[in-house]
Structure 1
Amino acid sequence: MTKLISWNVNGLRACVNKGFLDYFHASGADLFCLQETKLQAGQLDLQLEGYRQYWNYAEKKGYSGTAIFSRIEPLSVRYGLETDDEPEGRVITLEFESFYLVNVYTPNARRDLSRLDFRLEWECRFLDYLKSLDAVKPVVVCGDLNVAHQEIDLKNAKSNHGNSGFTAEERGCMTKLLESGFVDSFRHLHPDRTDAYTWWSFMPKVRERNIGWRIDYFLVSSRLAERIADAGIEPGVMGSDHCPVTLTLS
Structure 2
Amino acid sequence: DYLDQEQPDIFCIQESKAHKEQLASEILEDHGYRTYWHSGIKKGYSGVATFCKKEPLYVQEGLGIEKYDVEGRVLLTEHEDFLLYNIYFPNGQKDEIRLKYKLDFYDDLLPIINDQVESGNNVIVTGDWNTAHHPIDLARPKENINTSGFMPVEREKLDEYVAKGWVDTFRLFHEEGERYSWWTYRFGARERNVGWRIDYFFVNEGMADICIDADIHDEILGSDHCPVSLVLDF
> TM-score w.r.t. structure 2 length?
0.94
Q: Is the 1:113–1:164 Cα contact (8 Å) retained in structure 2?
A: no
Please tell me whether residue 173 in structure 1 is matched to residue 157 in structure 2.
yes
Share of identical aligned residues, percent?
Answer: 43
Deviates further, 127-136 or 208-217 = 127-136
Corresponding residue SS for 2:69: coil
SS at match of 1:123: helix
Q: Give the Å deviation of 1:178.
A: 1.6
Runs of 4+ displaced beyond 3 Å: 111-114
Contact 1:109/1:164 (8 A) holds in 2: yes
Instruction: Look up the SS of the partner of 2:230 in the other structure.
Output: strand
Whole-Å separation in 1 of the counterparts to 2:130 and 2:23: 26
Say which SS state the counterpart of residue 188 (structure 1) adopts.
helix
SS at match of 1:32: strand
Corresponding residue for 1:7? none
Report the Cα offset of residue 230 of structure 1: 0.7
1:83, distance to aligned residue in structure 2 (A): 4.9
Which residue of 2 is the match for residue 198 of structure 1? 181
1:87 matched residue in structure 2: 70
User: 1:1-250, aligned counterparts within 5 Å?
Assistant: 22-45=1-24, 46=27, 47-83=29-65, 86-136=69-119, 137-190=121-174, 192-250=175-233
State which drifts further: 130-139 or 163-172. Answer: 130-139
3-state SS in 1 of match to 2:104: helix
Report deviation, 1:231.
Answer: 0.3
Output the CA distance in 2 between the equivalents of 1:36 and 1:144. Answer: 9
Bigger helix fraction: 2
More RCO (CA 8 Å, sep 6+): 1
Residues 110 and 44 of structure 1: CA distance in aligned 2, closer, same or farther (over 3 Å): same
Number of equivalent positions:
228
Structure 2 unpaired stretches of 5+? none
Aligned-pair Cα RMSD in Å: 1.4
1:50: how far off? 2.3
Q: CA deviation at 1:49?
A: 3.9
Q: Which residue of 2 aligns with 1:12?
A: none
**Preserved contact between residue 112 and residue 164 of structure 1 (Cα < 8 Å):** no
Q: Which runs of 5+ in 1 are unaligned?
A: 1-21
What is the DSSP-based 3-state SS (H/G/I as helix, E as strand, rest coil) of the residue aligned with 2:32?
coil
> Shift in Å at residue 112 of structure 1?
4.2
The TM-score, its normalising length taken from structure 1, stands at 0.88
For 2:177 and 2:81, the matched residues in 1 are separated by 33
| Shift of residue 111, structure 1, vs aligned partner | 4.5
